[in-house]
Structure 1
Amino acid sequence: MRLSIFVGCFVVAAVAVHFGLVPSGARGSNVVWVVLFALVLSAPLSYVLLRKQRDEMSEQIVIKVERAKERLEEHRTREDHVTL
């Protein structure tokens, strides 16, 4: 999803530079300028537009970490009972 946002921003930036809405890069650095411009545009858009997906992923990660902690604690208590 982030890649598609970047590609969309790249197309918008390329069109804007082509039609002179945004200044082009100096001495043939036009492609580099468009890529950097697209990165600057896509970063905040990705942050805002992908908030829901990011929150869902972090919830899944928290659940997995909690499960791993529980398993680790179970193994520790089992080891404590075996060594006694």
Structure 2
Amino acid sequence: MLRYTLMRLGVFAGCLGVVWGLVHFGVVPRGLGDSNGMWIILLALVLSAPISFVVLRKERDRASETVVRRVDRMKANLEASRSQEDAATDTAHAQGQAS
């Protein structure tokens, strides 16, 4: 998961550098008034999202498999705890009726 996040940040940083260069040399408009920095960041975000979606597909699939395994393991642990609690409650209830 960390690897995927770092790769996404790398794609964003690359897009940010390219957009900054394009704005600096006047290929892309500078934005309105003092919004130049925000314009560069937003444009880099818009460009990096589809690039990441296509380029990092395999890494995203690996990260999602890891998340699914963790969730399944947590569900199994929760169910095991719930079963133990139910068994303990049933035993205590049976002992209370036997008395």
What residue is the counterpart of 1:19 in the other structure? 25
Q: Given residue 44 of structure 1, which amino acid in structure 2 is its aligned partner?
A: P
Q: Does 1:70 align with 2:70?
A: no
TM-score (normalised: structure 1): 0.79
2:16 & 2:50 partners in 1: Cα distance? 14
Is there any run of 5+ residues in structure 2 with no aligned partner, and where? 1-6, 92-99
What residue is the counterpart of 2:66 in the other structure? 60
What residue is the counterpart of 1:10 in the other structure? 16
CA RMSD between the two structures: 1.8
Q: Does 1:39 align with 2:45?
A: yes
Say if 1:33 and 1:81 are closer, same or farther in 2 by CA, change over 3 A.
closer
What residue is the counterpart of 1:29 in the other structure? 35
Is there any run of 5+ residues in structure 1 with no aligned partner, and where? none
2:35 & 2:83 partners in 1: Cα distance? 62
- Runs of 4+ more than 4 Å apart: none
What residue is the counterpart of 2:85 in the other structure? 79
Work out the number of aligned pairs and report it.
84
1:27 & 1:81 partners in 2: Cα distance? 68
Identity %: 51
